[in-house]
Chain A
Amino acid sequence: MIRIAAVGDLHYGAGSQDLLRPSLLHLPDRADLLLLAGDLTRCGGTEEVRVLAEDLRGLPIPMVAVLGNHDYHANRETEVRRVLEEVGVKVLEGEAVTLDLDGARIGIAGTKGFGGGFRGAHASDFGEPEMKAFVGHTKMLSDRLERVMSDLEADLRIALLHYSPIETTLEGERLEIYPFLGSYLLAEAVDNAGADLILHGHAHHGTEKGRTPAGIPVRNVAQPVIRHAYNIYTLDAHRQVMAAAGGVT
């Protein structure tokens, strides 16, 4: 059994020192890896991410992250990534990593993702260049996620996102902002490639639990939703992967 601790939307900044630290002390006894679902900083500042890096430094379990929209705000996402990687956090954007844990290969594919909305009401890359750029960004990231996940050979496969792939985990948010909270294209990408679990953040007023149309479990681990330092999910590494490529279960 693999135990995954996950949290997003920590929004570290001045005054966040030791926000997580006390809760991380027992984490190595409770979880096999820690996944961070973006918005790790308030404004994407390197001084902000250094505060988080100090809290994570020395944690003796693998740590994997994606960045969120806040982490891009200062246009320093490359430096944010570097600071996290200096303390051992693997940061993914259209990439995957495979970890050997307890005799099982755990594959994690990650992307920030982006918005657009959901089935029946998704924005189209039609009209003004700004609209084409908005939807085009989501399509590009979703296509890349599908390719990376399809190539991921592992006993358990996890998609780590910031934006939401489904509407269910947005319940509690205002309907008007759904197009800025996620896109069904992310769910379609993972449903096509197959996975055991999808984690995301971004929707602070959303709901923790949902499933993709193909039945893959989705968990919104935004800290204001889970209201803990992290939640822990267990997965059996020896079960069959759900939702084979192109199939609907």
Chain B
Amino acid sequence: MSELRADYLPEHIRESLIHDPRVAEQDLKVDVKEHRVMLGGNVATPQLRETITEVARELLPGYEIVNETTVVPATEPDGEEPVA
């Protein structure tokens, strides 16, 4: 396989993260500038957030990984909504 062009690199990383069973998250945004990878989106747990950083580091050794993903809160709602 030929070397990845920089234009297509973020999408290949996004695809690799979706297919890595440790991550399997379709909700991630990936941006690459120079040797820095920016990751965004929602994740379910703090552990998954850390795993995403590790997997991204494996995929792009030598790149700086900036993980800006957000852990979604799983607290009880305050109230209820009458719908019908």
**Chain A interface residues toward B at CB < 8 A:** 3, 10-16, 19-20, 23, 26, 30, 42-43, 45, 70, 73, 156, 196-197, 204-205, 217, 219, 223-224, 226-236, 239, 242
Residue of A nearest to B49 (CB): A15
CB distance from B39 to the nearest CB of A (A): 15
**Chain B interface residues toward A at CB < 8 A:** 21-22, 24-25, 27, 42, 44-48, 51, 72-77, 79-84
The answer to whether B72 and A197 have CB atoms under 8 Å apart is no
Task: Label chain B's interface by main secondary structure.
Answer: loop
The answer to whether A228 and B73 have CB atoms under 8 Å apart is yes
Residue of A nearest to B50 (CB): A15
The answer to whether B25 and A226 have CB atoms under 8 Å apart is no
Task: Give every chain A residue within 8 A of B27 (Cβ-Cβ).
Answer: 204-205, 224
Since A26-B76, A233-B80 are in contact, a sample of 5 more A-B pairs with Cβ atoms closer than 8 Å, ordered by chain A residue number, is: A14-B47, A16-B44, A19-B45, A228-B74, A231-B81
The answer to whether A10 and B44 have CB atoms under 8 Å apart is yes
Cross-interface CB contact of B21 among A43, A223, A226, A232, cutoff 8 Å? A43
Task: Label chain A's interface by main secondary structure.
Answer: loop
Task: Give every chain B residue within 8 A of A234 (Cβ-Cβ).
Answer: 80-83
CB distance from A243 to the nearest CB of B (A): 11
CB distance from B76 to the nearest CB of A (A): 5
Cross-interface CB contact of A42 among B24, B76, B77, cutoff 8 Å? B24
The answer to whether B48 and A15 have CB atoms under 8 Å apart is yes
Query: Complex formed: what's the CA distance from A42 to B77 in Å?
Result: 24
Query: Complex formed: what's the CA distance from A217 to B84 in Å?
Result: 8
Task: Give every chain A residue within 8 A of B74 (Cβ-Cβ).
Answer: 19-20, 23, 223, 228-229
Task: Give every chain B residue within 8 A of A236 (Cβ-Cβ).
Answer: 82, 84
Query: Complex formed: what's the CA distance from A30 to B80 in Å?
Result: 9
CB distance from A165 to the nearest CB of B (A): 15
Task: Give every chain A residue within 8 A of B77 (Cβ-Cβ).
Answer: 226, 228-232
The answer to whether A217 and B47 have CB atoms under 8 Å apart is no
The answer to whether B84 and A242 have CB atoms under 8 Å apart is yes
